[in-house]
């Protein structure tokens, strides 16, 4: 079991190192090493507050994306929704062409400054990878398994809950992992729309030409991304280990 968690542990370690480097004293030392005078760094408390807010916003977005993406993915793979597929694929392709920054920018005039435009961008940008991942995972379930369940007299709901979803689980977790990395990155971009996230010190540092908060923000954002990715990767390997044992 433990050797399965090794890749996740490696990513976790990278995240932890980045997090340590974002600490004001260590970051100030790095900035001094770069030949810049360290000034007006962020305290560890401020960094932690920003990280908490960042994580909260990203988690809320991810939850919405998971519910909508999984729901739509399940809906689209039902037989009755087959005619909708072409239209949904078209919109999915179009939505992928809009980068997260542009999503945040477009949401800004509709929702004003702060968290809401970021949340809208999170949902709009994250839903398609989850939808595609869900459809892919559900379509990879072998028709034999479905037919066998049908022959046993399962209702369509039972087939979905007891055959399709459990068999598609590793693919679903993978899709969520992609969405999580996207959510952390999009939330960082949300700083441009005035959301207070770990992107805020980066943007402010770029504007004031102040390297220390910029570096701290960059390291902390990367740390958060790696730590969250490690958690979901660990979850994914536990899920597949569970499957292998069955």
Partner 1 sequence: MRAESDWRSNRHRAAFHASSAGLFGAGLLIAFLHRMALLDIAPNRLLPGAPVVASGFGDGSIGLVLLLSLAGLVLLATLPRRMGGLLAVGLFAAAWAFLLLGLGAEATRRLASMPPAARASLGSGFWMASACLLAFAGASIGRARIRGLGLLAALAVAGILIAAWHGGGLDRLSLVVEYAGRQETLHRAVAEHLLLSGGAIVLALPAAVILSLWRSGEGIVGLVVSGIQVIPAVALFGGLVALVSGLVRAVPALRDLGLSALGPWPALIGIAAYLLLPLWRGIGTALRSADPAAIDAAEAIGLTRGQILRQVRLPLGAPVLVGALRVATVQSLGLATLGALIGAGGLGRIVFDGMAQFAPDLILLGAIPIVALSLAAEAALSAMEASCRARWRA
For residue 143, give every residue at least 6 positions away whose Cβ sits within 8 Å of its Cβ, in sequence order, or none. none
What single DSSP character describes residue 80?
Answer: G
Residue 166 C-beta: closest distance to partner 1, Å: 27
Residue 113 C-beta: closest distance to partner 1, Å: 9
């900035």: which residue's tokens?
A: 31
Residue 200 C-beta: closest distance to partner 1, Å: 10
Binding site for partner 1 (CB under 8 A): 10-11, 14, 31, 33-36, 79-91, 93-94, 96-102, 105-106, 108-110, 181, 184-185, 188-189, 191-193, 198-199, 202-203, 205-206, 211, 214-215, 217-219, 221-222, 225-226, 229
């807010």: which residue's tokens?
A: 53
For 7, the token pair is: 């890749």
Nearer to partner 1, 37 or 242 (CB): 37
Nearer to partner 1, 94 or 152 (CB): 94
Q: Is the dihedral of CA 121, 127, 128, 130 positive or negative?
A: positive
b/e 46-77 (16+ beta carbons within 10 angstroms → b): ebeebbebbbebbebbbebbbeebbebbbebb
Nearer to partner 1, 109 or 153 (CB): 109
Nearer to partner 1, 85 or 162 (CB): 85
* Radius of gyration for the alpha carbons in the chain, expressed in angstroms and rounded: 21
Residue 82 C-beta: closest distance to partner 1, Å: 7
Residue 197 C-beta: closest distance to partner 1, Å: 9
Nearer to partner 1, 91 or 166 (CB): 91
DSSP string, 51-75: HHHHHHHHHHHHHHHHHHHHHHHHH
């Amino acid at each position: 079991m433990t050797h399965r968690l090794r890749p996740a542990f490696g990513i976790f370690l990278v995240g932890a190192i980045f997090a340590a480097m974002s600490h004001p004293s260590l970051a100030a030392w790095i900035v001094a090493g770069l030949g810049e005078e360290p000034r007006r760094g962020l305290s560890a408390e401020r960094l932690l507050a920003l990280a908490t807010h960042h994580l909260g916003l990203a988690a809320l977005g991810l939850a919405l994306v998971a519910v909508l993406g999984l729901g739509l993915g399940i809906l689209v793979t039902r037989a009755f929704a087959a005619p909708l597929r072409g239209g949904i694929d078209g919109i999915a392709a179009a939505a992928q062409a809009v980068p997260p920054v542009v999503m945040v920018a477009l949401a800004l005039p509709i929702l004003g400054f702060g968290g809401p435009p970021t949340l809208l961008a999170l949902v709009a940008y994250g839903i398609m990878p989850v939808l595609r991942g869900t459809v892919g995972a559900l379509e990879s379930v072998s028709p034999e398994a479905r037919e066998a369940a049908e022959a046993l007299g399962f209702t369509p709901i039972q087939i979905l809950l007891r055959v399709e979803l459990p068999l598609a689980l590793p693919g679903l977790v993978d899709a969520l992992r992609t969405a999580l990395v996207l959510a952390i990155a999009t939330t960082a971009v949300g700083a441009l729309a005035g959301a207070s996230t770990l992107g805020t010190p980066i943007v402010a540092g770029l504007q004031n030409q102040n390297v220390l908060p910029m570096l701290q923000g960059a390291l902390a954002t990367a740390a958060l991304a790696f730590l969250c990715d490690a958690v979901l990767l660990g979850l994914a390997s536990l899920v597949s280990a569970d499957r292998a044992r069955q």
